[in-house]
Structure 1
């Protein structure tokens, strides 16, 4: 029997691989082990910061796969994913690419627009640890990591939805990208999860033949570009109750939320032994 093709599994974290409320991922642990044993790459693609993800990568045993943080603003490569012309790795052995603007530059632009429009906006990165912890359910120390932005700025909007739509248009006219996760609205440069996923798929093709197949799982509006950038996708039932529209012919919508929905989606596309359904 021919060996099953390699698979790149791009996954959102909050509300997908991690439970929206308590961040538990234990229901997905057997599948994570199965994919690792098969040689597939599980690649986190998240709105979390690199500081937050450093801890999770160790817990999830994903230190040897790439990652995307801040909705596409930061791409991190472990040594096996590097090419000779890449920038040198940092002290942690990771090579970083930051295709958008820095968080500091975004904050300056946002403060100018907020003042000009008298917009009821707060930047998550500028909250206190206690405020951030109360909003996210994180411990204060973890909230500190969540506020350590490198290429994006999550926003808290304290006005009505019509006002947000007007301000969102102002941001987009100023050349910024706006997306929405399960908890916050995120502002970035010209980046998104889909662009980062396509970049990593091309990098994998530069390193391996034949090309790997691609699958993505996510639950929020900010996951849409990622779900539309792969061959097969899973839209996980969202605890956030936000509308999510995905233009993807190979899309499975789960009944369950969080890591149980993550498992449901994988089991739809993959058979029990890890082979792709319809591609054994």
Structure 2
């Protein structure tokens, strides 16, 4: 990777993308400035590689890697490039190897057709098809009780699989987080100064690890608690939500390096 003056890691939903409309156009002038200055912008999201790849190409960022499935994997540079699904296939084999009594209480995306994923997520069918193209992790619905869940998670842990509970899904994976993927990408670029932006708890470690962290406000969720580095000014709270706030924060920080 070439030497770069700065690198930006950004969450998508409710950060670079508007919470309601998913529009990113208010950030376009700043994105274009970063592209012209050879600053990689690393899209970092729970979205699948298929979902991120389309957004990355539309934003003109196809020369940059991206971080997908909450840090579980990287999307290689290149228009339309997608990672191998080998890790997901291994995860599905582990899941299907569990005792029937445990396995039957969990319905993952891989157990559903596209219509089932659309119904479970509330996404339009075309978007659900992209969300179903897993490469690293498996979201799913749990129907068992608490004791059965404990046994299920214990059986998975014996195979190196962990789970994260979200508002709707229990997502299985091999434990990588956004900050782990961020560290890998930084190393590839020679550890330049970094900016990380996000709005949610799964962005917290990434924001804290960056040279400059930015919390983007999201009126639709509780604000993040005080983060490491915030008292010293290394982590800041933007006042404007969505891509307009993103653009304001990134522009001001980029002025220090470009």
Tell me the TM-score normalized by structure 2. Answer: 0.78
Cα pair distance change 1:252/1:23, threshold 3 Å? same
- Give 1:144 deviation, angstroms: 0.6
Identify which of 117, 125, 131 aligns with 1:140: 125
- Give 1:72 deviation, angstroms: 2.0
For the residues of structure 1 that align with 2:172 and 2:225, how far apart are their CA atoms?
20
- Give 1:123 deviation, angstroms: 1.4
Instruction: Check conservation: 2:53, 2:80, Cα contact below 8 A.
Output: no
Cα pair distance change 1:172/1:221, threshold 3 Å? farther
Instruction: List per-residue Cα deviations over 1:64-114 (Å, max 9, x = no partner).
Output: 1111111222223337xxxxxxxxxxxx6959588xx71122233335558
Q: Which range moved further: 214-223 or 146-155?
A: 214-223
Identify which of 189, 199, 205 aligns with 1:219: 199
- Give 1:43 deviation, angstroms: 0.7
Aligned to 2:26: 27
Cα pair distance change 1:275/1:114, threshold 3 Å? farther
Q: Which range moved further: 101-110 or 21-30?
A: 101-110
For the residues of structure 2 that align with 1:182 and 1:239, how far apart are their CA atoms?
17
- Give 1:217 deviation, angstroms: 1.0
State the SS of the aligned residue for 1:237: coil
What aligned pairs does 1:1-80 form with structure 2 within 5 A after superposition? 6-78=5-77
Does 2:103 align with 1:123? Answer: no
Aligned to 1:237: 217
Cα pair distance change 1:164/1:251, threshold 3 Å? farther
- Give 1:157 deviation, angstroms: 4.1
For the residues of structure 2 that align with 1:163 and 1:248, how far apart are their CA atoms?
35
Cα pair distance change 1:184/1:23, threshold 3 Å? farther
For the residues of structure 2 that align with 1:40 and 1:23, how far apart are their CA atoms?
23
Does 2:174 align with 1:189? Answer: yes
Q: Give the alignment's Cα RMSD to 1 decimal.
A: 3.5
Tell me the TM-score normalized by structure 1. Answer: 0.73
Instruction: Check conservation: 2:54, 2:80, Cα contact below 8 A.
Output: no
Cα pair distance change 1:171/1:138, threshold 3 Å? same
